[in-house]
A and B are shown apart, each in its own frame.
Chain A
Amino acid sequence: GAVVSQHPSWVICKSGTSVKIECRSLDFQATTMFWYRQFPKQSLMLMATSNEGSKATYEQGVEKDKFLINHASLTLSTLTVTSAHPEDSSFYICSAKGLVSYEQYFGPGTRLTVT
């Protein structure tokens, strides 16, 4: 099956700093990538959708200037949390979808802790 990786798997940063999370599709070309956030004991909430070479589309309530998404190639998307605060601490998960597939393949997630 298709494999999606995320890096890092766990990151701790200080309040006010920025952190970048990478999402890679390892064995297929991902025309669309999705970024989700999951708080403890809650479901996955879609943050944004990005198509390769285009600007990301953000869900209502998600600050696009705070969560910068770049999808510059068919195998890599990045999420940068700028000026992170403790309330941004969460589990961030990406998924990737190819052009002809309906299925989203999920990465293993990145746990962000902001101190």
Chain B
Amino acid sequence: QKEVEQDPGPLSVPEGAIVSLNCTYSNSAFQYFMWYRQYSRKGPELLMYTYSSGNKEDGRFTAQVDKSSKYISLFIRDSQPSDSATYLCAMRSPNEKLTFGTGTRLTIIP
């Protein structure tokens, strides 16, 4: 069993829709929970991070963590074609190592 599970998609939604991306994890030692966006042939860029259960909002993005269920989500409101990318969840261990999900390829259709 992988430490981090993420549906690879692909996921296609119309412009303006709400997007929901999810990951589950099995390692209780993970402390920080991140979402990265990666465009093709580029390095990942950090979108959101959280370290406690609950919601965190930043503009059109909301990150949600449920530690009891070992489940994290990223919601994108009013999705735009420029949001089309691969979204990776990542978990940070106490030794600072990041464990990534496989990534979900998202396409926003104009």
Smallest CB separation, B93 vs chain A (Å): 10
Interface residue SS majority, chain A: strand
User: Cα distance A76–B27 when bound, in Å?
Assistant: 32
Question: What is the number of residues of chain B that contact chain A, defined by CB distance less than 8 Å?
Answer: 21
B16 CB-CB contact with A under 8 Å: no
Tell me which residues across on chain A come within 8 A of B45, comparing CB atoms: 106
Interface residues in B14-45 (C-beta closer than 8 Å to A)? 32, 36, 41-45
Question: What is the number of residues of chain A that contact chain B, defined by CB distance less than 8 Å?
Answer: 23
Tell me which residues across on chain A come within 8 A of B49, comparing CB atoms: 102-103
Seen from chain A, the residues whose Cβ lies within 8 Å of a Cβ on chain B are 4, 6, 32, 34, 41-46, 49, 91, 93, 95, 97, 102-104, 106-109, 111
Interchain residue pairs with CB less than 8 A apart (19):
A4-B43, A6-B43, A41-B8, A43-B88, A43-B100, A43-B103, A44-B88, A44-B98, A45-B100, A49-B96, A91-B41, A93-B43, A95-B98, A97-B96, A102-B92, A103-B46, A104-B98, A106-B36, A106-B45
